[in-house]
Structures are given as structure tokens and as C-alpha cells.
Amino acid sequence: MRWLFLTHRGAIGQVKPIQQETGCNILMQEQEAYLLPQLNVTTFQQEFRLSPQSLAIWTPGHSPGSACLYHDASGGILFTGRHLLPNQQGNPVPLRIAKTFHWWRQLQSVAALRDRFTPETLQFLCPGANTGFLRGQRSIDHAYDRLSQLDLESLRLQKPGL
């Protein structure tokens, strides 16, 4: 079964033609599926197992239905959409912008991911934006170590960017 997994509402612009062309199933967290009223969308609340190796995880904050996709190959890969993005040093950070739905929820989601994984189960992050900061790399390596270094309390006080 082929899936088109959407990490957040900003990713829905071309869903209909993609589904028409490929015949794929659409998977989206339930709080944002209403944005695709004429399409058949599979929804989930907290988690959805796509295969024995792949799991969709609800990570609210960036938008109400933001979600990440975890795949347990190669030491663990987390596709983060816009939930975690590389900063100028190539480290993963939650990005607070004026459109961020709930900043404190996003930070709680980051903490939940940090608590869920270990250095052995999370080696790579694949962000959905800001990839130019990775300077030619396709992912952020040593993902768990970098995630565990985030100071979420300091980030909680951060003002929205532009």
C-alpha cells in the first residue's frame, strides 16, 4: 500500500493531483484533515503505523496537526516536516514564527520526542525546510545527541521571528 503522509497543513497544495496521478492513500493527523474535504483521507490521533518499520507521530505546535514520520532503518530516521528545522549551524531547532500555532505545545512535542528515543534509536533528522543550512547534507546526523542538547526552557521565552 502506498501512502502520501502529510506532516502539516502547509503541505496540502498539490495533494489532489498527486493522489489522482499515483492512486496513493493520504495520511494526515485528524485536526487538519478537514482541509481536504473532497479527498479520501486516512486520519490518526496520536500515532499511526504505516508498516512494521514506519510510524506517524502527532507533534502539535507548528500547526495543530503537525506530525513527524519515524522509520527505524539506519539507526532511526525522523522526518520532521517543519517541526524541527536546521539553524545556521545545522543543528535541529523548533522554529518560532508569527504563524506558529502553539509554541509551548511545540516545545512539549520536542520534549516528548527526546524522551521517546535514545542515541541508538534516533540517528538522523530529515527536515522539511531550511535544508540550505545543512550545506549539502541531506539530513542532520547524531540526531538524538543534538536534540538532547536543546534548552527548551530558554526556547520557551523566545519571541516570534519574522
Tens-binned pLDDT, residue by residue, of the chain (162 aa): 589 999 888 768 889 999 999 999 999 999 999 999 889 899 999 999 999 999 999 999 888 999 999 999 999 999 998 888 888 887 898 988 777 888 899 999 999 999 999 999 999 998 866 665 656 677 788 999 999 999 898 888 877 654
What's the pLDDT score for residue 162? 44
Query: Please, which residues have CB within 8 angstroms of residue 133's CB and are 6 or more apart in sequence?
Result: 86, 87, 88, 89, 90
Is 13 a domain residue?
Answer: no
Strand partners, 121: none
Number of domains in the chain: 1
Which helix (H) or strand (E) segment holds residue 87: the answer is none
- Identify the three-state secondary structure at position 21: helix
Is 101 a domain residue?
Answer: yes
Is 28 a domain residue?
Answer: no
Is 161 a domain residue?
Answer: no
Is 21 a domain residue?
Answer: no
What's the pLDDT score for residue 77? 96
* Phi and psi based region of residue 112 (left: phi greater than 0; alpha: psi -120 to 50; beta: remaining): alpha
What's the pLDDT score for residue 72? 96
Q: Give the residue numbers spanning the domain of 55.
A: 45-156
Domain with residue 59: its CATH number is 3.60.15.10
The answer to whether 146 touches 86, Cβ cutoff 8 Å, is no
Is 25 a domain residue?
Answer: no
Strands annotated E in 35-159 = 41-44, 47-49, 54-58, 67-71, 77-81, 85-86, 92-93, 124-127, 140-141
Is 152 a domain residue?
Answer: yes
Is 138 a domain residue?
Answer: yes
Q: Which letter, b or e, does each residue of 120-129 get, where b requires 16 or more Cβ atoms within 10 Å of its Cβ?
A: eebbbbbbbe
